[in-house]
Structure 1
Amino acid sequence: MFIDKAISILFGLVFLFVLSCDGPSSDSVVSEEEATAVGGKALQDDPVFWDYAASSNMLQTEIGRIAAEKATSDSIKTMGQKTVDFHSKAMQQLRSLVANQEKVQIPDSLGSADRALVEEFKLLEGEEFNTRYRDFILNTHTVQLERYKEALGRAENKRTLDWLQAMLVHLRKELNSVANIDSVKQQ
């Protein structure tokens, strides 16, 4: 039990480190006041945010595919497939949202750290996979919730606001699903 918790904590720390190395750091998040002070940079014109949003959706989709195939728990398999379905659609919507933005170029593939994380998940088996996937969802969704909440304050059009709201609802629902899986497992 202790080893499982230690591994989970270690994975969480490694994941946060990976996010800080290959993606935009939380220091790059611009508050609404800072955006106004530097020329009113709206969310729609913020390439850092959209790069983060695209990268996180692609990563969720790829690791969700692995979960749908490799998980030994039916609830984790189902969660993985729902993740693939939701984040694939969210990615299509994201591309549509930024299609006419000259300053925004979203990535079309995962960065090196994200690819390495996908490869790590491919090597996991059994209960270790299930545990790491639950931890991945908890860690990534918590970070994404904060980023998307911050982005709401800078969004200027209804389509972007609607997309962000849908993302927030999904992320909260997934966090609740993981909590339900964990509570059923403990009983």
Structure 2
Amino acid sequence: MVIRPTSRILRATRLLRASIAPRCQLAIPIARSFSATKDWKGRNRIYDSVRRPDDFQSYLLLSSSSKTPLITLWTASYCSTCQTILPLLNELVSSGVGEDEGGVAFCEVEYDANDILTSDLGMRYMITSMPTLFSFDRGEAQTQTRVTDPRKMKDPEFMRAWIRTEARRRGTGGGGSATGFLGGLFGLPK
């Protein structure tokens, strides 16, 4: 006895094959010309707000692996100045400021979130005022370029220049803890 599929089963099989087939095809390599220079144009990334230390560590690792500086804005829910600076910074990063220099990643760290407050993140990075604009490159805190003055953070031109400066790092470090006073004592570059 031979069982023949109904037209309904045949239609479902054809639909299934049509939806799977494009994903199963092999990718054809694209020929690219050889170049000795790097493509410096990067893409900016905006991450979700940080409310747990694990999220912060994940973003640090992601930015380190992609050699993209991570810009963090440390805010608190009670800080009205933070609520005016955050949209400006979001707009600048999403509009592509810094992409020509290599790109940046950005996240807001909600300092008054319960898990962040109970961790040592604020103490580790010496966050003493809200808002604080802080950059990380290769996972290292860039203490020399920290911004705590809200008047500077509200100035779009200052923020554009600051983001571009941070984007130029591209995993090269500089300005971190190893280049300060102690770095000079131990023969590291100033």
Q: Same fold (TM over 0.5)?
A: no
Q: Which has the higher contact order (CA 8 A, sep 6+)?
A: 1
| More strand, by proportion | 2
TM range (shorter): under 0.3
TM-score by length of 1: 0.28
| More helix, by proportion | 1
Q: Which structure's CA Rg is the greater one?
A: 2
